[in-house]
Amino acid sequence: MNPSNEPDRLLLRHTLAAVAYRAGKTLRDAPETFANFQIGQPPKTPASILAHMGDLYDWALSMARGEQVWRDSQPLEWNREVERFFAALKEFDDYLAAPEVVHVPLEKLLQGPVADSLTHVGQIAMLRRLAGCPMKGENYYVAEITAGRVGLEQTAPRREF
């Protein structure tokens, strides 16, 4: 059996596509000033949260490869950080799509870096609202989300409100 077709691996890849879809919605069309918006102490800017999200997917890939490498990246300029995040997400998804051995349990990858990234997508969405640049809500159940589609460019929303 090709490991890239295993049901658990496919479900994890679909989850990555959902992360990409939701992250794309929160990151797309954000004004330049949003990257450094601050609230609370110590302040976590959208750019620093996004840098952490890229680090999460670099870490996930390293664990899947049997390594375990963590780094704390300093945020790049906003558009470069957005590109970095989606590149890290794609590299992890590509690894899962290939017939490569995953050296850690898939459920640990889901409960750790993947679930953490969903939390951070929500934080960025909330910060957009607080910064005065909210995006529309959406019925994600009807969204067209497909395993393997993990870039910034996504299908148009089907039901926004």
Evaluate whether residue 39 is within a structural domain.
Answer: yes
Evaluate whether residue 26 is within a structural domain.
Answer: yes
Evaluate whether residue 23 is within a structural domain.
Answer: yes
| pLDDT tens track for 39-48 | 988 889 999 9
Containing structural domain, residue 128: 3-142
| pLDDT tens track for 48-75 | 999 999 999 999 999 999 999 999 999 9
Evaluate whether residue 133 is within a structural domain.
Answer: yes
| pLDDT tens track for 131-141 | 999 999 999 99
pLDDT at residue number 62: 98
Q: Model's pTM, two decimal places? A: 0.95
Which residue type does 52 have? H
Computed over every residue of the chain, the mean pLDDT equals: 95
11-16, Cβ contacts within 8 angstroms, sequence gap of 24 or more: 12/96, 12/106, 12/109, 12/110, 12/114, 13/93, 13/96, 13/97, 13/147, 13/148, 14/145, 14/146, 14/147, 15/110, 15/114, 16/89, 16/92, 16/93, 16/96, 16/114, 16/147, 16/150
List all residues 6 or more positions away from 94 whose beta carbon is below 8 Å from its beta carbon. Answer: none
What domain count does the chain have?
1
Judge contact between 109 and 60, C-beta under 8 A.
yes
Evaluate whether residue 154 is within a structural domain.
Answer: no
Evaluate whether residue 44 is within a structural domain.
Answer: yes
Evaluate whether residue 10 is within a structural domain.
Answer: yes
pLDDT at residue number 4: 62
Whether the pLDDT of residue 1 is over 80: the answer is: no
Q: What is the CATH number of the domain that holds 41?
A: 1.20.120.450
Judge contact between 32 and 78, C-beta under 8 A.
yes
| Rounded-to-integer distance, Cα 121 and Cα 34, Å | 14
Confidence of residue 5 (pLDDT cuts 50, 70, 90): low
pLDDT at residue number 41: 87
Evaluate whether residue 151 is within a structural domain.
Answer: no
pLDDT at residue number 137: 94
